[in-house]
């Protein structure tokens, strides 16, 4: 998987991870992948719903040491 850009949203509470993700993904081209790092557990539901609503695809997701990583492919 080729990551185009990484967004560090660790320590931010809802809705800021989504707000920053939207601003960042808007700078990418269709098909490119954004890695987002968050610590807010609410992001698990928020990112799934946000990606689906925007037509984006979460191609992978993992959690390591309390940090949740989302890999989002832009629609």
Residues belonging to the active site: 14
Tell me if 18 sits within 8 A of 63, measured CB to CB.
Answer: no
Strand partners, 73: 33, 57
Bridge-based pairing state of the strands 5-9 and 33-38: parallel
């Amino acid at each position: 998987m080729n990551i185009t850009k990484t967004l560090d949203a660790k320590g931010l509470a809802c809705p800021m991870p989504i707000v920053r993700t939207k601003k960042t993904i808007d700078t990418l081209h269709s098909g490119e992948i954004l890695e987002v790092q968050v610590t807010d557990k609410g992001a698990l539901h928020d990112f799934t719903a946000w990606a689906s609503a925007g037509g984006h695809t979460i191609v992978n997701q993992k959690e390591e040491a309390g940090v949740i990583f989302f890999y989002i492919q832009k629609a």
